[in-house]
Amino acid sequence: MDKSDLDKSIQYIKGVGPKRYQTLKRLGIHTVKDLLYYFPRTYQDRSQIEKISGLEKGVTSMVKGKVFNVKSYNTRGWRNIFEISVADGTSILLVKWFNQPYLNDVFQVNDHVFLYGKVSVYKQALQMVNPEYEIVSEEDGLGESVAILPVYSLTEDMRQPRFRKLMKQVVDEHSHLADEIFTADILKKHKFVPITFAIKNIHFPDSFDSLAESKKRLKYEEFFTFETAMALRKRNIKEARGYKFRIGPNVEDHIYKLFPFKLTRSQEKVIRDIHEDMCSVRPMNRLLQGDVGSGKTVVAVYALLAAIANGFQTALMAPTEILAEQHYRTLKRFLADAKVRVLLLTGGAKTKLRKENLERIRQGETDLVVGTHALIEGDVEFKKLGLIVIDEQHKFGVMQRTRLRQKGRKPQPDVLVMTATPIPRTLSLTVFGDLDVSIIDELPPGRTPVETYRVTTKKQNDAYEFIRKEVKNGRQVFVVYPLVEESEKLDLKAATVEAKRLQDEVFPELKVGLLHGQMKSNLKDKIMSEFINRKYDILVSTIVIEVGIDVPNATVMAIEHAERFGLAQLHQLRGRIGRSSHQSYCLLFGTPKSTESRQRLKIMLETNDGFKIAEEDLRLRGPGEFFGTRQHGLPEFKIGDIINDYNILKLARDDAFKLVNESQKSKTSKNRMLLKRITENFKHKLDLINTG
Ligand code: ADP
Ligand code: MG
């Protein structure tokens, strides 16, 4: 047997017939190696079998017993319950599965079963609902001898015992062939177990210690491979040719004159980073992080104007149309005194107008194009694109960035990515791992931290009184409504009805305005400027005001049904106030119903720190939800978890970047060999990341 046996098709393995071969393929397992790297989803601890008589309510436990009763029945109307009774000589346990009627064909009286699940009490009897189960039969072959049993993610036509048996056979025969990619140095430095040990123990651990060691090593390996790809990608970008802008004192003076305030030390520092990037012949690839209201737009304006002053076209890309429009308006305001031709290009624009706009962009008759993802659609062609600013809101992944980059002909345009909310550190190592990072870590001067309060139904009138008092003191108030049932129409209705109610019943003596997403852009503008000019005391709005709106005199942000908003949104909304020297207040109305929504509100009460909030948001919702889109460019890890394994991720990242840097410096180093091994071993994966 040799290494190439690992690449052998799984169909040549004993016990894999044509049918099982198809099933395995569906699981993504084609070769012996694929199978070895198909890691368990979880484990059952058979060394810890409990007596049924000793089970405790609420504790997840493992029992072994004999089935003495089986029944399947339907409850009123809609669901099937499959039920077995199990005895182990000490007591009996009732076991139920909901809506899995096929189990009726799986269990039989007198079967011996392992059951693993949470114990509950039903009508004074002990029970488990939907436990993991395994029927112990002769064909299992390892039921009694193995103490920690792997549990795999499988399809219905491949059951655990079958799969385990196949795995056991392949691990016994082939795991010693697994390729060690790490040098002895690295293994020693991190005290890693060898790969052959790790593969064997990830499937059939000798002990929980061995399992933990194996997991750690395999997670590191997975992250390390990924981060190596990131480092290579970053190096490729660095090696690419970009534009070398000239940004002299004259240009800078000109730009600074447009800002009605003195920049913060943080903004200055970030602008120095950007200045250096832009004046280098390498393309800029920078992530700009900063909390809501920290003044990122100003920094973006600097970069845009600097590129335009060099005779280039620029693009600003936002995740939604509303945000694109908002940016467009802000920029127009900033650029009122500069001779810059700005154009808004959205997917929604009428075909004729869009055609004209596209022509302008192609002819170089426009300096700054603001838009959504429509900007990366095939028909947009720039004459001379020098800089792209992406306002990301976590919504675009690596892929989209690559696509946009290709819009410019050789040399490559500079790219500045801004995030509307801070990015959890774990994501800045993965999705954004190929970017240089600049952080604005202070707010413009004269801001007082916003105070945040929950308003329960009982306290609603007190809150209204409070609002009245603020208005009496000359301040203004936002009242925000959530999206109802994902429908803009209902959303609009709720806000409209509420605006009327507030005006007629609660605040008849005050002026209440209404703003929503379905208004034409110039009407939105009109209402906003009316609000700024204090034509209204209270502005009732849908989520349109989430980003970009700036009314320093507003000191109250009242959020209705706060439990329906995500943390990032709540934080954004709160960022709309606290923009002057007056104390500001965020009032969270509504009744949280789930634990998660309760936690969200709790976090809002605890901190104003956007970085902390982002971490919590990611932790609560998980990466998929956090991004809210499938096209997030988030890598899929088999065993590593970017949130829970952050420390390993960080370690792997540092090592991988060091490796790529050092291998570049010295052609003969050991590191170079390692890099070569990794690129050979994981070629298809690396390609995937590198070509975007
Ligand atoms: P972000 O995009 O980071 O949320 P903005 O760029 O919208 O923040 O800036 C928030 C507000 O602060 C805007 O009203 C902006 O004009 C103002 N601002 C930005 N920088 C400064 C500064 N250095 N001094 C005073 N105000 C500033
Ligand atoms: Mg902004």
251 in contact with ligand 1, CB cutoff 6 A: no
The one-letter amino acid code at 550 reads D
CA of 287 to the centre of ligand 1 (A): 18
By the 10 Å C-beta count (0-12 exposed, 13-18 middle, 19+ buried), 194 is classed as: middle
Q: What is the mean pLDDT of the chain?
A: 85
Closest CA to 27 of 643, 638, 647: 638
What is the number of helices (H) and of strands (E) in the chain?
22, 22
By the 10 Å C-beta count (0-12 exposed, 13-18 middle, 19+ buried), 182 is classed as: buried
CA of 421 to the centre of ligand 2 (A): 9
In the predicted structure, residue 549 carries a pLDDT above the cut 70: no
| pLDDT for res 631 | 47
Q: Give tens-digit pLDDT for 520-545.
A: 777 877 888 899 889 999 999 887 66
Cβ distance 60 to 117 under 8 Å? yes
293 in contact with ligand 1, CB cutoff 6 A: yes
CA of 217 to the centre of ligand 2 (A): 42
DSSP class per residue in 515-549 = E-TTS-HHHHHHHHHHHHTTS-SEEEE-GGGGTT-
Closest CA to 227 of 683, 660, 677, 670: 660
Cβ distance 589 to 461 under 8 Å? no
Strand 512-515, strand 451-455: pairing: unpaired
Q: What kind of fold does domain 451-607 have according to CATH? A: Rossmann fold (3.40.50)
Cβ distance 480 to 560 under 8 Å? yes
| pLDDT for res 310 | 96
Pocket mutation for ligand 1, best pick of 255, 258, 261, 442 (most atoms within 8 Å of C-beta): 261
Neighbours of 636 (CB within 10 A): 7
Backbone dihedral angles phi then psi of residue 295, each to the nearest 5 degrees: 95, 45
CATH of domain 249-279+295-419: 3.40.50.300
- Which pair of structure tokens corresponds to residue 428? 């800045």
Helices 208-239 and 195-203 pack at an angle, to 10 degrees, of 120
Q: What end-to-end distance do the CA atoms of the chain give, in Å?
A: 37
**Which ligand has the shortest distance to the CA of 442?**
1
422 in contact with ligand 1, CB cutoff 6 A: no
User: Which residue has its alpha carbon closest to ligand 1 atom 5?
Assistant: 295
Cα-atom radius of gyration of the chain, to the nearest Å?
Answer: 30
Domain 48-146, CATH homologous superfamily name and number: Nucleic acid-binding proteins (2.40.50.140)
Most confident by average pLDDT, 41-50, 65-74, 324-333, 490-499: 65-74
CA distance 692 to 688: 6
**DSSP secondary structure code for residue 364 in this structure:** T
CA distance 615 to 429: 13
Q: With bands split at pLDDT 50, 70 and 90, how would you rate the model's confidence at 630?
A: very low
CA of 418 to the centre of ligand 2 (A): 9
**Which ligand has the shortest distance to the CA of 441?**
1
**Which ligand has the shortest distance to the CA of 421?**
1
User: Which residue has its alpha carbon closest to ligand 1 atom 23?
Assistant: 263
Pocket mutation for ligand 1, best pick of 258, 294, 298 (most atoms within 8 Å of C-beta): 298
Q: Give tens-digit pLDDT for 138-156.
A: 444 455 556 788 989 988 7
CA of 78 to the centre of ligand 1 (A): 56
pTM of the model: 0.70
CA of 295 to the centre of ligand 1 (A): 4
**Which ligand has the shortest distance to the CA of 327?**
2
| pLDDT for res 485 | 46
| CATH topology agreement for domains 48-146 and 451-607 | no
CA of 225 to the centre of ligand 2 (A): 35
CA angle 298, 617, 463 (to 5 degrees): 80
User: Which residue has its alpha carbon closest to ligand 1 atom 9?
Assistant: 295
Pocket mutation for ligand 1, best pick of 297, 316, 333, 571 (most atoms within 8 Å of C-beta): 297
Cβ distance 358 to 411 under 8 Å? no
Domain boundaries, the chain: 48-146, 249-279+295-419, 451-607
CA of 581 to the centre of ligand 1 (A): 14
* Interval 342-357 mean pLDDT: 82
CA angle 486, 538, 579 (to 5 degrees): 90
Q: Give tens-digit pLDDT for 367-376.
A: 999 998 777 6
Q: Give tens-digit pLDDT for 206-262.
A: 999 999 999 999 999 999 988 888 888 888 777 788 899 999 999 999 999 988 899
Helices 208-239 and 670-681 pack at an angle, to 10 degrees, of 100
418 in contact with ligand 1, CB cutoff 6 A: no
